[in-house]
Amino acid sequence: MLSTFHRRREYVQKGQNRVAKFMPRFDGPYTITRAFPIRSVYTIDMPNCPDLYSSFHTSLLKPFNANDPLLFPSRIQSQPETVVTNNGEEWFIDRIVDERKRGRGYQYLVRWVGEGPEKELWLPRSELEDCEALDVWLKSVGRS
């Protein structure tokens, strides 16, 4: 996991009304590609951040610990219930509510059929190929 300490300062400096206290303290998980333990420097694979230098001191890194759903069941992110069709399992998208730029692409805030705003989820464009809701969204923002 990579610390977001320096990015929080930059985020606040870009605008008057920005507050960084709700920004996550660590980002990731990332894969370590090269290690230099003598210098306490590690190079990590950052596919969504091509503009950042990928080598960091160990003071900015911490190990990733996956959630154990048996010990902490409330930490599991809820997914909408699946609908079984002839093609397998599917989730039905009601509409796309918002978009944001992530790396070289976009993520879209998806609202599921029969669910409220509390179950909305950010999905990358790669997961929304052949999706009618994406076509409607792109047409509404003028990027068809």
Taken as a whole, the chain contains a residue count of: 144
The average pLDDT across 93-101 equals 86
| Dist. CA 76–CA 71, nearest whole Å | 11
What ranges do the domains of the chain cover?
Answer: 2-60, 77-140
The tens digit of pLDDT for each residue in 38-63 reads 999 999 988 777 677 888 999 999 99
| Dist. CA 43–CA 29, nearest whole Å | 13
Say yes or no: domain 77-140 is CATH 1.20.200.10: no
Residue partners of 59: CB distance under 8 A and separation at least 6: 3, 40
The rounded percent of the chain whose pLDDT value lies above 90 is 9
